[in-house]
Every structure is written in C-alpha cells, then in structure tokens.
Structure 1
Amino acid sequence: MDTFSKYLLTGLIGIVALGQFVQVITRYVLQVPVMGLEETMLYPTVWLYMLGAVNASRENTHIRANVLEIWLTTDRQHTILAIIGEIISLIVGLWLLSWAWDYTRYAWRVWKESPTLYIPTFYSDVALVIGMALMMIYTAWHLWGHVRKLAGETAQ
C-alpha cells in the first residue's frame, strides 16, 4: 500500500505540474490559451489534495500544534493526550464524512458537468467522501494503537 500511494501521489503531482506548465507556455509564451485545461486539471488536483491528506493520516504526520505537550512530562500523559486528540478528530471527521456523503449523493443525483468539456464533476466530487472515509479509518487505527499502548502501560 505504501508503494502504491507513493507512485499514485507522484503521478498526480506530475500531471498537475505538467498541466500548469502547458498552461503557462501556451497562454503566456504562445498567447494561445488551451480551452478546458483548467477543467481537466480540477480532477487530478482534487484527488491529489484528498489523497495527500489520506497519506498524512496514514503516516500520522498531520501538522499539529501540540502546545499541551510542553507541560506534560510522562509518556502516559502524552498517550492520554493523543487519545483525546484522536477521539476529537474522529468525532469531527465522522461529522464531516456525513456531510461529504450527503454531498456525494447530491452530486450523483444532479450529475453536473464541466462548462466547456462536459466532463461529469462527480468524478472529482467523490474524492471528498472517499478521502474522508479513508482518513477516518486511519484515525480509528491510530486511536486503537494509542489505547493499546495505554493499556500496556497500565498493565505493567
């Protein structure tokens, strides 16, 4: 899974960078804008954003402002703080996931299309619910790891 996500994210970054490069060259150097390029770039950009967040959730490398850790001195306190943080993340994330699911159902029902190329926007809209679901799975996984660690510390 690690190798797959690495190549997928690298490919998406490459596609987005190449699209932006083509846009700059054609629009500003050749003075001939490519119609619809912005629309097509929406899809890999949204997927890159969401899968990047999933990757950060998988690796547990999200940016955090761990101010409380300054005053906490033991590993047990750090683990309890991590559990509280994961629970809050899970509650907020599941709430956002329910919104993302409602939006996905709406996008499926309405079936919007992009204005120039008529590409269904559902294929980028669905990235939100898939990304949020994967992030909640990884958050629950990390929460379970912290609870097991705390239980192991308490058993000793």
Structure 2
Amino acid sequence: MIIFKCIDWLLDRVITPIVSIIGVFVALAFVVGIIARSYLGIAFFGMEELILIAVIWFYMLGAMLASKEGAHLQADFIPVIVKNEKVVVIFRIAATVISILMAGLFISWSNELFQWALKRNQTTPVFSIPIYVSQASLLIAAVFMTLYLVRDLVNEIRTLSCHKKSSTPAKR
C-alpha cells in the first residue's frame, strides 16, 4: 500500500534521526547535570523539565518505530502450542483486532488529554514550555501505532486468504 510506503519514508528519513538526536541530548544532559551538581556545585535549573519532555518524545517516537518494524513486545506463545499455521494466523488476527480497539481508546484518551492541555494553557515552571508539547507525542504515537496495526491486520488477512487458497483442492 502506497500510504504505508510514504509513512515508512517519513519515519526513516525524519523520525529516526530525531530519535537519535533526542537520545544523544538526553544522555549528554544527564552527564552534564550530574557533573555540574556533583563536582562543580552548579545546578542547572530547568534541566529536568527539558529531559522529561525529551524522554517522553523519545519513548513515543521509539514506539512508532517499533510498530513500523513489528519490534514491539509480544507474548507470542500460540505458535509454540498450536502447530496449524492457519490457526496461528487466526489468533494473530484476533490479537491485532483487540490491539486496534485498544489503540483506538488510546487515541481517544490522548486526544482528550491534548485538548485539555490546550484549554488549560499550562506551562512548565522554568522555561514556560506549554504542557501540550509533551502530550502531543502521545496522540501522534497513538495515531501512527494504530495505522501500523491496521497495516498488520491487512497483511494477516492476506496471509489467511493465501492459506485458504492453498488448502482448497484444485478443480479438474
């Protein structure tokens, strides 16, 4: 599907470098903060809020990338118990449908949280960064993860239909 190729391109070219940059920033910020406090006796006010916002975005963007690659955590014990590939695919379809429903709830909740933050117009104490900056990451990640779950569902249904075609006896 062409839309997923465009989304993949966006994630590969834009999001992956951003995740790398955020990761380096967080690591350096911790090192600088620890050295400054422990050895120099200097406290960088506001460093914690910058790190917190960066870590939230890091985690959510990473979750998007994991969804793209299918690298998120799974308790996939069905193939160990069941040897029939068709039954395994049916279980995967059911799990993906449940995941899509849960992701839909996550979209709804994160959208409500984001809308609430926009209305309240709260900011961080030191740098006055709007709270919705970090909460937007939840909504964006939820939308992308849901899109990739839909992609996975379509692929699993295709796999099931291929199994049905191959298990049907050839007509003479």
- Sort the TM-score into its range (normalised by shorter chain): over 0.9
**Which residue is 1:45 aligned to?**
55
Alignment of 1:1-156 (within 5 A): 1=9, 2-156=12-166
Aligned CA-pair RMSD: 1.2
Quick check: 2:67–2:145 contact (8 Å CA) kept in 1? yes
Which of the pair has the greater relative contact order for Cα pairs under 8 Å at 6+ separation? 1
Q: Partner of 1:142: helix, strand, or coil? A: helix
Per-residue CA deviation, residues 55-111 of structure 1 (Å, 9 max, x unaligned), is 111111111112222211022122111111111100111011101111111011111
Count residues in correspondence: 156
Letter of the 1:59 counterpart = E
> What SS class does the counterpart of residue 44 from structure 2 fall into?
coil
Structure 2 Cα separation of the partners of residues 5 and 40 of structure 1? 19
Looking at structure 1, the residues matched to 151 and 55 of structure 2 have their Cα atoms a distance apart, in angstroms, of 27
Superposition TM-score, scaled by structure 2 size: 0.86
CA distance in 2, matches of 1:101, 1:7: 26
The structure number with the bigger radius of gyration is 2
TM-score for both structures, normalised by structure 1: 0.94
CA–CA distance in structure 1, aligned partners of residues 153 and 147 of structure 2: 10
